Structure 1
Amino acid sequence: MVLPEGFVVPPWYMVVPAVVILGGVIALLWAIEPPVTDRTVLAFAPWMMFGATLHVLYKMSAFPPTIEPLFTAPMVYVVTAIIAGLAWIVGVFLHVGGLQPTIPRFVGVAGTAFFTVFTMFALFQSIQTGTFEPFWPVITVVVAGIVTALAWLALSLWFTDVAATTSTTGALVVFAHTLDGVTTAVGYDVLGAGENVPLSLLLLEAGEALPTAEYVGAGWLFVLVKVALALVIVGLFREYVADRPQQGRTVLALVAAVGLGPAVHNVLLFTVM
């Protein structure tokens, strides 16, 4: 089994229109070719987090039953991509019309607004039900920030060209997957959370089988692999970003989303449930 447990396929009458709309959004973006810079990738970070928030709200049963299937995994990624893509298109037209100074600013502000509103709703609901526990989630973010800083410093010292070329986009990739690793490790070792992704579970079980598990837990190996893998991916994309920066940064943004989405999902889920 490769896919994680919990994947739900909504009814066809939801899937088909969503896929068609997503295809239309992608086609329009392909036609207008908006620039993709480091600022663009950063502007989409709140949208990656917004998708995670929607899925947490689904687990909290916050949506009406009629639309609830739209926020299951992996359908929530399609829904988020549609909304973020539409925001990008609107940002392009507002910039061309002289109503916005830059496209990334509009995309980032809109994404931050969506993420903040829905996250506050989840936090407020958890406070009402008495399940609000922010201690360990805050610890995971702080630890992930420190580990990312050390990893990026090492990369900058030994592979300066990689850090300089991939820049902020590369740093976001490393932070996203570091946070995913740290939240998974803390959830597994401290909070007693299960792991639904088979490959991740194999790494956690491998760490648990080591003699060090008694002293530092099983998750450290998972964190190490995630950080190392992120650094390797960033290194492999150096030439691609240098030769074709728009395409290279787009792919790296998708790599970052694969880490940041689950990471923020873990942080928020541990906080509210």
Structure 2
Amino acid sequence: MPAGFDLPPLPVLGSLLAGIGSVAVALYRLDPPVTDRIVLAFLPWVVAGAALHVAALLGLVAPTVGRVAVVGVGVALPVIAHVLATGPGAGSIDPVPPAIALLGTAIVTPLTWTLLGRLRDDVTTVTGVIGIVLVFGHALDGVSTAVGVDLLGAGERTPFSRVILEVGAALPTADLIGAGWLFVLVKLVLASVVLVLLGPTLRETPRDGRLLVFAITALGLGPGVNNLLLFAVSAP
């Protein structure tokens, strides 16, 4: 497999796939409604998974627990509190890098949403609050990655992201504003394109559209929270 990817042991992987398959079959048969509130209610589980992944990296919990948590086992606030409370044992708590990342995210998210609304107001209307959350999640991933690379000298494990950062580092702007800005831009553009593509699905089959929005949001929010916690507890 490409560098940056790994799989859990086969028994764990088999159990996860069986569990996911069982849940999928049950949901298909029950055909439950999926509202914006339900989508938002599941987001803390994404945060919990990211927090337990950080805890696993720091050796605070078994790696298997961290992997299982990624699919929803955990409660966000207690896990984050545990990671932060035990962080000094693995590094030092530094709130500045996470604060910078959150501030940057708070700036680019409304700007992106406003621009998208001016270009495609039909998309922002149909996606609503879950669309904003999707943009926020991927903005958080992009900005926190840029902070890690440009301010903290961190590396990137995901091959695709690493290629974008390498391109950014090769541009003439790298000496002035760093390499991470290109990654932020790509994340924001991709998030906007996804919302445009999901607009018809949300109108015609809202349940399927909301499930897709949640899944794609998790792909940004989870890594973003993971970055913030790593910055906080592993700062030099």
When normalised by structure 2's length, the TM-score is 0.93
Match of 2:71, SS? helix
Residue 9 (str. 1) matches residue 14 (str. 2) = no
Change (3 A) 1:50 1:60: same
Aligned to 1:173: 134
Summarize deviations over 1:62-110 as a string: whole Å, max 9, x none: 12xxx53342xxxx2x544254xxxxxxxxxxxxxxxxxxxxxxxxxxx
Determine the structure 1 residue equivalent to 2:29.
Answer: 31
Deviations 1:131-150 (A, max 9, x none): 11111111101210110011
Worse overlay, 18-27 or 171-180: 18-27
Equivalent residues in 2 for 1:54-203 (5 A)? 54-63=52-61, 67-71=62-66, 76=67, 78-81=68-71, 83=73, 114-127=75-88, 131-203=92-164
Q: Is 1:242 equivalent to 2:232 in the alignment?
A: no
1:6 Cα shift?
5.0
Residues 237/116 of structure 1: CA separation in 2 closer, same or farther (3 Å cut): same
Runs (4 or more) in structure 1 with deviation over 4 Å come to none
Contact 1:183 1:267 in 2 (8 A): yes
Query: How far is the alpha carbon of 1:214 from its aligned partner?
Result: 0.7
Unaligned runs of 5+ in 1: 84-110
| Contact in 2 for aligned 1:14/1:70 (Cα 8 Å) | no
Query: What residue number does 2:233 align with?
Result: 272
| SS of aligned partner of 2:172 | coil
Tell me what 2:17 maps to.
Answer: 19
Distance change >3 Å, CA 264–CA 13, structure 1 → 2? same
Report how far residue 120 of structure 1 moved.
Answer: 0.1
Aligned-pair Cα RMSD in Å:
1.7
Query: What is the aligned counterpart of 1:251 among 208, 212, 228?
Result: 212
SS in 2 for 1:145: helix
Larger Cα-atom Rg: 1
Structure 1 residues 82 and 45, CA, compared in 2 at 3 Å: closer, same or farther? closer
- Number of matched residues? 234
AA paired with 1:169? I
| Contact kept? 1:35, 1:246, Cα under 8 Å | yes
Superposed CA deviations along residues 17-43 of structure 1, whole A, max 9, x for unmatched, are 332223222222222222111111111
User: 2:165, 2:179 within 8 Å by CA — same for their partners in 1?
Assistant: yes
Identity of aligned residues (%): 40
SS across alignment from 1:166: helix
- Distance in 2 between the 1:128 and 1:197 partners? 27
SS of structure 2 residue aligned to 1:25: helix
Task: Indicate how the Cα distance of structure 1 residues 4 and 175 shifts in structure 2: closer, same or farther if over 3 A, else same.
Answer: farther
5+ residue gaps, structure 2 = none
Give the counterpart letter for 1:69 in structure 2: T
| Cα deviation, residue 130, structure 1 | 5.2
